[in-house]
Amino acid sequence: MSKELLDLIKQADALTPDEQLQLIAYLTQKLRRCEMKRKPRRNVTEFAGIAPNLLKGMDAQDYVTRLRRGEFPDLEIAQMELRKEE
């Protein structure tokens, strides 16, 4: 939250209830006149392939199971990467 918005909230808290209602009415009317742009809906298939293969071929369920057991499959993946670089 910006400093300006926090300042406005503090000022609004200092207003009487009637003044707060007037402020709400003003902001509501102002927003009704604004044309709000909606973000386009995205299809989940648009995101396919944008993230790197973080598991490097390891089965995702196996990874989660091992994490829950207290194992560190991340270290194993990092070691596999180091071996490939050598």
Rounded Cα gap, residues 3 and 82, in angstroms? 47
- Any domain includes 22: yes
Residue 16 reports pLDDT greater than 90: yes
- DSSP label of 66: H
What is the number of structural domains in the chain?
A: 2
- Any domain includes 68: yes
> Domain containing 62: what range?
54-85
More confidently predicted of 24 and 66: 24
Residue 72 reports pLDDT greater than 80: no
- Any domain includes 47: no
* pTM summary value: 0.41
Residue 66 reports pLDDT greater than 70: yes
- Any domain includes 38: no
